[in-house]
Structure 1
Amino acid sequence: MSFFETGFDTEAVDRRKDGTKDYGIFHINNGWWCKDEGTLSENLCSMSCADLLNTDIHDDILCVKRIVKDPQGMGTWKEWKKHCEKQDLREWVKGCNP
């Protein structure tokens, strides 16, 4: 999912049509999940969006885990639906330890 959302770019920031922004390697949205200056946010991950823009992705992963617990789950990301959902994803985890 991250490959298709950002090309694994930890510094990615993209503005959406609704005026919100998606941050970091996982494109986490500031309208719901993180807080930046000048945007109202639910900040459900209790973090600054700026924290999503560095190479330490531990906090990003914690936020993603929170996001997928919501009813939309991975469907939160449009690129997941387009490229990953109901697909054989074994090539993406080849060589990883369980």
Structure 2
Amino acid sequence: MQISPGLCIIFNESGYNTKPPMSNKGVKLYGLFRINHQYWCSDGVEPTKNQCKVACQKLTDDDIKDDILCAKKILEMSMSLKAWPVWQRMCYMKDLSSYLQGCPL
């Protein structure tokens, strides 16, 4: 994942906030990328697929390495940024350069 699309997704999903988990129609979403607990992480309560092999709570701490690794796994398995619905609405075919302003790359 390139950095501009990733930052656009993170900004529009979580506002760069790793916590708290969000709930949307019974689905709990965790971390910067608001990762779906049913498929990608284990919340320790409900049986899940846990494709990223990570505890959902780990996605809510300030160590974002596991968030990035899980997002990368989601991207690899889905083959598209469309795995995040916000991509189509807020990022696709938009100028994403503003997400890099002030970033020392």
Name the TM-score class by shorter chain: 0.7 to 0.9
The residue aligned with 2:10 is: 2
Instruction: Say which of 55, 74, 79 aligns to 2:81.
Output: 74
**Could you tell me the TM-score, scaled by structure 2's length?**
0.83
Which of structure 1's runs of 4+ aligned residues deviate more than 4 A? none
**Aligned equivalents of 1:56, 1:84: Cα separation in 2:** 25
2:43 aligned with 1:36:
yes
Question: TM-score, structure 1 length as denominator?
Answer: 0.88
1:25 aligns with 2:32: yes
For structure 1, list consecutive stretches of 5 or more residues without a partner in the other structure.
none
| Alignment-derived partner of residue 4 in structure 2 | none
The alignment yields a C-alpha RMSD, in angstroms, of 1.4
Three-state SS of the structure 2 residue aligned to 1:21 is: strand
Amino acid at match of 1:26: F
Shift of 1:11: 0.7
**Structure showing greater relative contact order (alpha-carbon pairs closer than 8 Å, 6 or more residues apart):** 2
- Tell me if the contact between 1:33 and 1:43 (Cα under 8 Å) persists in the aligned partners: yes
Percent identity, please: 34
In the alignment of these two chains, the number of paired residues is: 96
Equivalence for 2:5 = none
**69, 75, 79: which one pairs with 1:62?**
69
Q: 2:91 aligns with which of 79, 84, 95?
A: 84
Distance 1:37 1:59 in 2: 17
Larger deviation, residues 26-35 vs 75-84? 75-84
8 Å CA contact 1:12, 1:27 repeated in 2: no
